[in-house]
Amino acid sequence: MNQESVIKVSDVHIRYKVIKAQGIKKSFFSLKKTKLEEIEAVKGVSFEIKKGEIVGLVGKNGSGKSTLLRSIAGIFSADEGSIDIGDHSISLLSIGVGFNKALTGKENIYLSGLLLGFTKERIREKYNEIVEFSGLGSFINMPVRTYSSGMYSKLAFSITAVMETDIILIDEVLSVGDMQFKKKSFRKMKELIGNKERTVMIVSHSNETIRTLCDRVIWLNEGLIKMDGTPEEVLVAYEDYMMKLDDGPVKKTKKAQKEEEILRLVAEEDEANECAAKGEAAEEGGAEDGGAKDGAEEGTGEAKTSEEAGSPDTKPENQSSEEA
């Protein structure tokens, strides 16, 4: 049976204008109007994403990954083409997007929840869980403009993770915060992804993160889809392309290294916890088997004692009858 398409992107073009680069002195003293240059970041992209799919977006810097993700989130509209997410709720995790910095963390929780389509009552129910997961404590009552990038991302991730929208878009934020929060957020992300009712799109610095979390990868190159397929197929081709482009092995960014360190630590901890759980289960099973064995031995011992105690009484009777 065909699954429902929750994201439909049809022939999308996205353009924006930037000030044409020129010297500061020339720009300051020039009487002419500043020249603007038009950039087409996304050039006629089309694809569909089914309900429950976990899709990674890869591509070199400037390929249009973040631009496309923000357009799907509704932050700005496409210049041509269409993006349809139906009536599904959607959230975007991205540094620098989504909060009013003049408001407190608490006020932004309510504002973000309402923008995501949740009722005030529902947000109130989830409020304490969001604050607890973020670990911000009393900082939740401080203006967001006073937050570090790590605190900002903790709050953004916590709102998305706890409120649980139908579609989650993640734009390079899996390596933010302290190590403890990174591991906690990565585990939470795996939990969210495990729900086949939820659809996720991920832009990451780390190919290993994409390989571990995603079941499909779209490779964007200079605003166009170069390849769309399984992580094994696409990432091998993409990594080979990047090696040829850089004339050698691609140097990993610090963010990519951090993400891969989190992947390794979480995998090691999960494996240790699994081994410990198996060990405890084996010990409990052994204790139960031992108890049953001891019970059986006690029963056998009692029977033997009874037989031994009865045999002397029987023997004299036989002896006395023979003598008689």
Q: Which amino acid is at 97?
A: V
Write phi, then psi, for 30 (nearest 5 degrees). Answer: -70, 135
* Portion of the chain with pLDDT greater than 70, in percent: 75
> For residue range 209-262, what is the model confidence (pLDDT) as tens digits?
899 889 999 999 999 999 999 999 999 999 999 988 876 666 776 666 766 676
The arithmetic mean of pLDDT across residues 26-44, rounded, is 74
Q: Per the structure block, which two tokens stand in for 175?
A: 């390596």
Q: Can you give the pLDDT at residue 299?
A: 57
Q: Which amino acid is at 249?
A: P
> For residue range 293-304, what is the model confidence (pLDDT) as tens digits?
555 555 555 555
34 vs 225 pLDDT, higher one: 225
Round the average pLDDT of the chain to a whole number and report it.
Answer: 81
Half-sphere exposure for 124 (CA within 13 Å, toward CB): 3
| Cα 188 to Cα 226: distance, rounded to the nearest angstrom | 31
- Among 3.20.20.140, 1.20.1740.10, 1.20.59.10, 3.40.50.300, name the CATH number for the domain at 5-88+166-274: 3.40.50.300
54-58, strands of its sheet edge to edge: 90-94, 167-171, 199-203, 54-58, 216-221, 224-229
* Residue 107 CB contacts under 8 Å (≥ 6 apart), including other chains: 100
